Amino acid sequence: MQLSDDDKAMLDGSQGEARRLAMDGLVQLGRAFGAEDMVSIGYAHIHAGMAMYLHDVELMEELAARGATMAVPASVNIANADTVNWQQTGAPEKLARLQQRAASAQNKMGASCSFTCTPYWAGHWPTWNTHMTSIESTVTVFCNSVLGAKSNRDGFFAVYAGITGRYPRFGYHLDTNRVGTHRVRVETTPTTVSDFSCLGFHVGRLVGEGVPVFEGFTRRPTLDELDALGAALATSGGVALFIVPGVTPPYASVEQAFAGKIPRESITAAPRDIATVYDEFCSAKDGHFDLVHLGCPHASLEEMKSYAGLLAGKRIADGVELWVTTSRAVRNEALAAGLVATLEAAGAKIISDTCPISCHFARSASPDPKLGVVPPPLRAIVVESAKQAKYVRDMIRCDTLLTGTAEAVETALTGRFVPRRPA
């Protein structure tokens, strides 16, 4: 790899042990993927230091103790506990206190403790052509596909990139790789955010790690719909970039998205394909559920307005637990707008920093036994997101009931599961 003088100074330890360690990791990554040199990044979305694992928190504390600081604006990914009000989720206090230790380390390193999978709703909005890194696949696909930034799916290397401000030039940091691989003809434009989520899940498992190019939308999808589409694509497949011509910068046409080489064959996405995803994730045949969850990925302010509108002046049924998960930044905006008061008056719990699949509910994790984490015996969770449905199955290992947002709210109000009603 061709390294700049500044890269070499970091690698030889001239800029401190933390940067030496980080640059060494990035050089190894670059060599593994055949990168010729490094790019300067403008933003990093980094690892939280997950409290389920003591060594994970200690790793972040060790980096902070070695003098690590973020060289670029950095936000922090979703965590294992609500760091302020963990009691309302039933999380063990030891788990929350450990997550607060990780937050202290992040603060010391100069990262924004956003603790969210949607930092763009919290003000972290990398612009077109900005090289960046992200540990969260939802962030990667949104920033690549909606904002036109340039990012790979990075894992822990996002932390090293944040510390150095550098990243190997490979993958989606190269314009030659930012080209469509699959043509997707949408027969009917989905009408809800949940429908877009199911569309993404259907297409993602067909294209794998490809770059789907969507055509046929009769209107420009909203930001929330694009967010749901990308999150699901990145869940069922390994998609890091999708293209909607006229939406994804700088692609103005299908021809441009494929660099003039349009595939002869197309994937068709029909209403029946969306319905199939809903059916697949309605596995609790008796309709029983323990929890209704809204906000995956973490809700935007517009979604919080939608939830409040559906719940205003109403009250959820006795014995129903309704979670609305969002970033703390959006929660504060919703609080100022009176939305939190409306939602809480209806009986909803507004939870930040975490979500059901990231909190102590997870059975796929092996937490430190000293934390006293005992996952509750959940049978089924009602969700509005195909991404959340997949991870509830995989991580919490319970049944799911996937439906639309309005129907999920109606479920919470009536205490009876309401299946999605097609438009």
Are both 149 and 99 inside the same structural domain? Answer: yes
Backbone torsions φ then ψ of 273, nearest 5 degrees: -70, -40
Mean pLDDT, the chain, whole residue set: 97
Domain extent for 344: 282-413
Are both 166 and 308 inside the same structural domain? Answer: no
- Mean per-residue pLDDT, 361-387: 91
Predicted pLDDT at 227: 98
Q: What is the pTM of this model?
A: 0.97
In a domain, 35, yes or no: yes
- Mean per-residue pLDDT, 307-314: 98
Asked whether residue 408 carries a pLDDT value surpassing 90, the answer given is yes
Rg (CA), the chain: 21
Count of C-beta atoms within a 10 Å radius of residue 179: 17
The tens digit of pLDDT for each residue in 223-275 reads 999 999 999 999 999 999 999 999 999 999 999 999 999 998 899 999 999 99
| Domain end call among 249, 279, 309 | 279
The tens digit of pLDDT for each residue in 202-217 reads 999 999 999 999 999 9
Predicted pLDDT at 369: 83
In a domain, 200, yes or no: yes
Report the distance separating Cα 126 and Cα 391, nearest Å.
27
Residue located via tokens 């999920």: 408
**Contact of 125 with 139, CB cutoff 8 Å:** no
In a domain, 271, yes or no: yes
The tens digit of pLDDT for each residue in 318-334 reads 999 999 999 999 999 99
For the chain, give the percent of residues with pLDDT over 90: 96
Are both 260 and 135 inside the same structural domain? Answer: no
Are both 30 and 81 inside the same structural domain? Answer: yes
Are both 238 and 190 inside the same structural domain? Answer: yes
Q: How many domains does the chain have?
A: 3
Residue located via tokens 């009931």: 401
Asked whether residue 173 carries a pLDDT value surpassing 90, the answer given is yes
Predicted pLDDT at 197: 98
Predicted pLDDT at 135: 97
Predicted pLDDT at 110: 98
Are both 374 and 318 inside the same structural domain? Answer: yes
In a domain, 420, yes or no: no
38 pLDDT tier (thresholds 50, 70, 90): very high
Predicted pLDDT at 310: 98
Asked whether residue 370 carries a pLDDT value surpassing 90, the answer given is no
Report the distance separating Cα 15 and Cα 4, nearest Å.
14
**Contact of 298 with 403, CB cutoff 8 Å:** no
Q: Considering only CA atoms, which of 78, 112, 83 is closest in space to residue 96?
A: 83
297 pLDDT tier (thresholds 50, 70, 90): very high
Are both 146 and 65 inside the same structural domain? Answer: yes
Largest CA distance in the chain: 65
Q: Which residues of 250-271 are buried (b: 16+ CB within 10 A; e: fewer)?
A: ebeebeebbeeeeeeeebebee
In a domain, 227, yes or no: yes
| Domain end call among 144, 175, 206 | 175
Q: Considering only CA atoms, which of 164, 186, 133 is closest in space to residue 19?
A: 164
Report the distance separating Cα 227 and Cα 418, nearest Å.
24
| Domain end call among 156, 175, 194 | 175
In a domain, 418, yes or no: no
In a domain, 231, yes or no: yes
423 pLDDT tier (thresholds 50, 70, 90): confident
Predicted pLDDT at 264: 87
Count of C-beta atoms within a 10 Å radius of residue 362: 21
- Mean per-residue pLDDT, 90-97: 95
Q: Which residue has the higher pLDDT, 371 or 172?
A: 172
Are both 389 and 291 inside the same structural domain? Answer: yes
* DSSP-assigned beta bridge partners for residue 212: 182
In a domain, 421, yes or no: no
Are both 293 and 393 inside the same structural domain? Answer: yes
- What CATH number should be reported for the domain holding residue 21? 3.30.499
- What CATH number should be reported for the domain holding residue 348? 3.30.499.10
Q: Which residue has the higher pLDDT, 126 or 368?
A: 126
- Mean per-residue pLDDT, 113-124: 97
Are both 145 and 208 inside the same structural domain? Answer: no
Are both 398 and 320 inside the same structural domain? Answer: yes
- Mean per-residue pLDDT, 36-42: 98
367 pLDDT tier (thresholds 50, 70, 90): confident
Are both 269 and 323 inside the same structural domain? Answer: no
Asked whether residue 365 carries a pLDDT value surpassing 90, the answer given is no
